[in-house]
Copies of this chain bind each other. A is one copy, B any other.
Amino acid sequence: MKVTRVGIVGAGQLGRMLALAGYPLGLRCIFLDKSADVPAAQVASILIGQLEDASTLKQLALQSDVITFDWENISAASLEPLAKITAIRPSAAALQVSQDRLLEKELLKRLKIPVVAHAQVDSKEDLTRAVSDIGLPGILKTRRLGYDGKGQRIIRNSSEIADAWRELGSQALIYEKFQVFSREVSLVAARSLSGQQVFYPLAANTHVDGILRYSVAPYINMALARVAKTYMKRVLSVLDYVGILTIEFFIVKGKLVANEMAPRVHNSGHWTIEGCVTSQFENHLRAICGLPLGSTRPLGFAAMVNFLGQMPDRKRLLAIEGLAFHDYGKSPKPWRKLGHCTILSKNEHRLKQALKDALKLIEWK
């Protein structure tokens, strides 16, 4: 059997977990990243270069049957020449939309998917108008390159407008209503080259300070799951999407409001490695390699907890029944995602107890 070579732009933990899921399928991943000191380079081969450098991207393309992404913020201009050399999945167009909070929200709106009230901000005047139209509190965000709460600033009263503008005003921005919600859930789905679609159960996510701390799944609410699936189908279809796509939703007064989407495997889907018949990583690879998608059936109740800033005591954590440990091989740094654990339990009660035990052993810093 010919080995399918998967080129992956970015070699972080998502890439690492993709590579590990790829080996059993007979796939070989090759990465591109700025340094060899990255999680995926410990488990697969890597080209060193700038992620948007034309010549290194070309090198990667020449060695790959298909290119995909651990990091989605590659410009359309950088990707364009590659499309002549190899397949790019998801497409540059899908990446472009997800790279930009404004384009993303406008696409969702066009698809009649509720989104948080927001306005484009290109000047201080835009911001003043947005604050007055949408109200306070709100969040000023960079349209591009924000993650884990970076590139964001809350505005609580209008006296903070000037400061916020000074801090972020050099970039294209978006002002969003500070949405009060009862819960955040995410839907991870895959669409294959032939158009087959599969949907994971919803996960309920707990963030603190903009960083995901833990996810619990399945979040059981049949009505919401059905609506989320309907929304997801619209996005998958309009983008002619191939691969895993994630949409985060707020639950506001019992209804879903889309917060953001990610054109890749997602932190809130890590639980699927142990928690579902086929993981998000395997299904992403199956999708982009033209293979049939695998079952997303959950195998019990699961909780995923991120390790941030420091690794917990592995030995003590592994003593918890049903716990699987994931070390990304990174060096510690405040708030850096260094790993995660997933607990799989037969029932919700046991899961809650085990999650409580795990949280006692995990310190975020």
Contact = CB atoms under 8 A, between A and B. Distances in A.
B277 A295 contact: no
A315 B329 contact: no
A361 B270 CA distance: 32
A274 interface: yes
A336 to B, nearest CB: 13
Contacts of A346: 297
Interface stretch (A52-60, A229-237, A251-259, A320-328): A320-328
A74 interface: no
* Copies of this chain per assembly: 2
Contact of A20 (B3, B23, B291): B23
A20 B26 contact: no
Interface in A321-365: 321-327, 329, 339, 344, 346
A330 to B, nearest CB: 10
A1 interface: yes
Contacts of A278: 324
Contacts of A3: 329
Given A25-B327, A274-B277, A300-B299, A318 B20 contact: no
Range, interface on chain A: 35 or more
A309 interface: no
A322 B277 contact: yes
A239 interface: no
Residue in A16, A300, A315, A327 with the greatest tally of chain B CB atoms within 10 Å: A327
A77 interface: no
A151 interface: no
A311 interface: yes
A314 B274 contact: no
A253 B181 CA distance: 64
A135 interface: no
A114 interface: no
B26 A277 contact: no
A295 B323 CA distance: 8
B24 A326 contact: yes
A292 B319 contact: yes
Interface string A95-135: 00000000000000000000000000000000000000000
A43 B45 CA distance: 10
A294 interface: yes
A295 B321 contact: yes
A281 to B, nearest CB: 12
A3 to B, nearest CB: 8
Nearest to A291: B318
Residue in A23, A300, A329, A339 with the greatest tally of chain B CB atoms within 10 Å: A23
